[in-house]
Amino acid sequence: MRDVRECEGADCVLLFLPANPRRRWCVASACGNRARVARYYARHKP
């Protein structure tokens, strides 16, 4: 059994098989990018 992981995207409930063990999102350019943007705004809020 391979290691299925749950996407960490905020609104995403997809499961995926990470090609890279450090991968956290089903689609890095979608869910991963959203997480990066959210983190960016959280850090730059007054």
Q: Rule CB under 5 A: choose which of 12, 18, 24, 34 binds Zn ion.
A: 12
26 scored as a contact of Zn ion (CB under 5 A): yes
| Closest distance to Zn ion from the beta carbon of 43 (Å) | 22
**Does 28 engage in binding with Zn ion (CB under 5 A)?**
no
DSSP per-residue string spanning 1-46: ----EE---TT---EE--SSTT---SSIIIIIHHHHHHHHHHHH--
Selected binder of Zn ion within 4, 21, 29, 31 (CB under 5 A): 31
